[in-house]
Amino acid sequence: MYLFGYLTNPLDYEAFQDEVWKPMDREEICSPANLGILYRPILSSPKYMKGFFSQLDMVCWSKEQISIIVQMFFFGIALTLLYLPLPDKYGRKLALLFLSPALALSFSMALYGQNSWVKAIGYLINGAASGRYSVCLSMCIESSESKYGALASTIIFAIDVSSFFLTCVFLRFVSSDAF
């Protein structure tokens, strides 16, 4: 999640002062003396990943403000407990038909939201719609022969986890300008 990275590995910045761009840390940018100063991330910094910079200006937000948005995802996961029995009652296909578009909507809101509330609601929906994964696994186990159900779900998890792992390895060791 982008916001976790923003909390743990803040970007390096430069500000426009005296007709030149000068390195400036977050505290200086956010100080009352520099209110309204023009700044940008340093593109040559090893912390910067091309295409991975949010248009939502969070530089002067406190860690608590950013953490609230991140916590919305986990609150959404807790909400899955409310509808957990519904796929068994109404069918897994119906659950997937409802949760898949909700998940797509949440990705769009979290990625492209231009204010904190849109991003927070996007993360909330994302967490709540993540129950879709357990529905998929249940369908996979039920549609497989009993002796292969566990193997099939393990393969699905391995592929899912490996995509995140390989993306992180690529961005860290191959090219941070992949996007």
DSSP 21: E
State the total domains in the chain.
Answer: 2
- Which of 59, 82, 102 is the C-terminal boundary of a domain? 59
Task: Locate 161 and state its tokens.
Answer: 């986890």
CB 135 within 8 A of CB 87: yes
Dihedral Cα 75, 80, 83, 84, nearest 10 deg: -150
pLDDT score at 124: 93
| 23 within domain boundaries | yes
Range of the domain at 4: 1-59
Are 15 and 36 within one domain? yes
**Percentages helix, strand, coil for the chain, rounded to the nearest 5?**
65, 5, 30
Average pLDDT over residues 174-179: 60
Average pLDDT over residues 81-109: 85
Are 84 and 38 within one domain? no
Are 45 and 109 within one domain? no
pLDDT score at 154: 84
Task: Locate 55 and state its tokens.
Answer: 């248009």
| 172 within domain boundaries | no
Are 17 and 49 within one domain? yes
Are 18 and 89 within one domain? no
pLDDT at 119 over 70: yes
DSSP 34: G
Are 52 and 90 within one domain? no
Instruction: Reduce the DSSP state of residue 51 to 3 states and report it.
Output: coil
Average pLDDT over residues 120-133: 87
Which of 1-5, 47-51, 60-64, 102-106 is least confident? 1-5
Question: Crossing angle of helices 131-143/63-83, nearest 10°?
Answer: 40
Are 51 and 69 within one domain? no
Are 12 and 75 within one domain? no
Count of beta carbons in the 10 Å neighbourhood of residue 161: 10
**Chain segment 7-60, per-residue pLDDT in tens:** 556 678 888 888 899 998 888 888 888 888 888 888 777 777 665 555 567 777
Q: How confident is the model at residue 121 (pLDDT cuts 50, 70, 90)?
A: very high
Are 48 and 103 within one domain? no
Cα 26 to Cα 23: distance, rounded to the nearest angstrom: 10
**Chain segment 10-24, per-residue pLDDT in tens:** 678 888 888 899 998
